[in-house]
Structure 1
């Protein structure tokens, strides 16, 4: 698409209200997705971020510096045409949620998992009406079917833009509960990220930091926090 040409061709990026929500204009021309659909987003806050990303591009365009544009494109080009499949894939995390699989030892790790993960499971039981139960070990042990059905229904109820952000919140953290907790703003995003990294942080304490693994974790952290921000701005 022309808007993603290697070189910048526009002088000004601005947002505009449309019947479908908000769009971004480059010298008056609407931005289109890689699949050539006109890009409409549901909130002016998201449109403003996308416009700012286009404005920040210099002579050559670097899509890696445009996370809001990428997420919006994914919502339009990918999620919208396979919403049910994406929702089912994410809902499946409920039956193997990170927060449910616990260590049997050492005692300090067991206690830390209970201290940090139990409050999230308790929150899900109350706020989502879905009680997931901890298991010791890594062997799969199915959760209650009624809770899983409730969670699946909630995932399918997300709109395309919510689901695009929700995808990263869940897949990066490994937890459907964490994804919903982020969406509900029930816990701070950094807290949720650290909770999802509990086991890795424990290993670092015991054996020291692996710099390559740490660098990879930082990239995932940035993506998780972006998804959290995108989700929040959908309401603004």
Structure 2
């Protein structure tokens, strides 16, 4: 949905499918995604949340994709991520190779240590490799063992996890933070505090910037949606 449309349905419902999957239907007809696939997911909780997005649109009102973030993420998972998992993994790995947490500024050294070191430490303890932090003007490349570890982590992820990271990682600028959110060793608040440090520092120095505030709000909403999508995908009840 690239432009506004008007609500045309009376009822949004969840319809059990074969093999234990769940489809989302409008007036009894399964939603068809832009690429022609039906909107069918494995987790009942996710299907329920998607149906609720469609129910929440007021009757006869105009709406666009921004009103349906979980629907949009599910469509991305089904039509873009699942058909080519390796491409999704490669895109995410590129974020990891220039991870926000690994490239520091001398002027922000102290506060970056407070916000960036805990997730880097947790990653190191969990996976047995420690990414190198640099203060160089020209960023270093991520060491081969760290790159190999990131690749291995991504190789073990399914389409739902990769779709979640596909929203979380660009919003945060950090594959480490994204992995931490999925695995539960980084909180949503800690991730956003680290990811938004530079912008918030700028505004403390120069005053609030409406455009920057809007961007942070949009990225925070993406983080919330990406994490919610993952948590719902895990629930099989």
* Structure 1 vs Structure 2 CA RMSD: 1.9
Residues 229, 128 of structure 1: alpha-carbon distance in 2 compared, 3 angstrom cutoff:
farther
Structure 1 unaligned regions, length at least 5: none
1:141 counterpart residue number? 140
Alpha-carbon spacing, 1:138–1:14, altered in 2? closer, same or farther (3 Å): farther
Q: 3-state SS of the aligned residue for 1:234? A: helix
Q: CA deviation at 1:33?
A: 1.1
Per-residue CA distance 1:67-108 (angstroms, 9 max, x = gap): 000000011111122221121111122221100111123xxx
Partner SS, residue 226 of structure 1: helix
- Asked if structure 2 preserves the Cα contact closer than 8 Å seen for 1:15 and 1:25, the reply is yes
Distance 1:44 1:138 in 2: 48
Q: 1:61 to 1:102 in 2, by over 3 A?
A: closer
Cα deviations across residues 152-195 of structure 1 (Å, max 9, x unaligned)?
12113221122111111111111010000110121221221111
Residue equivalent to 2:56 = 56
Instruction: Tell me what 1:98 maps to.
Output: 100
Moved more, 90-99 or 125-134: 125-134
C-alpha distance in structure 2 between counterparts of 1:15 and 1:112, whole Å? 47
Tell me which stretches of 4 or more aligned residues in structure 1 moved more than 2 Å.
Answer: 4-10, 60-63
Corresponding residue of 1:81: 83
Superposition map of 1:46-195 within 5 A: 46-57=46-57, 58-59=59-60, 60-105=62-107, 109-195=108-194
**Alignment partners' CA distance in 2, 1:95 and 1:182:** 18
Cross-structure match for 2:200: 201
Distance 1:148 1:178 in 2: 15
Cα distance in 2, alignment partners of residues 130 and 228 from structure 1: 25
Query: Does the Cα contact within 8 Å between 1:20 and 1:41 map onto a contact in 2?
Result: no
- 1:196-215 deviation per Cα after TM superposition (whole angstroms, max 9, x unaligned): 11122122222221121111
Cα distance in structure 2, aligned partners of 1:171 and 1:129: 25
CA shift digits 1:2-60 (9 cap, x unpaired): xx993333221111232252211222221121111111112111101110111122314
Q: Distance in 2 between the 1:22 and 1:204 partners? A: 45
Hey, what's the Cα distance between the residues in 2 that align with 1:5 and 1:121? 42
Alpha-carbon shift at residue 119 of structure 1 (Å): 0.8
Q: Distance in 2 between matches of 1:168 and 1:50?
A: 17
What CA deviation, in whole Å up to 9, does each residue of 1:109-156 have, x standing for no partner? 211111111111010011233421110034121222112111112113
Structure 2, unaligned runs of 5 or more: none
What is the aligned residue count? 231
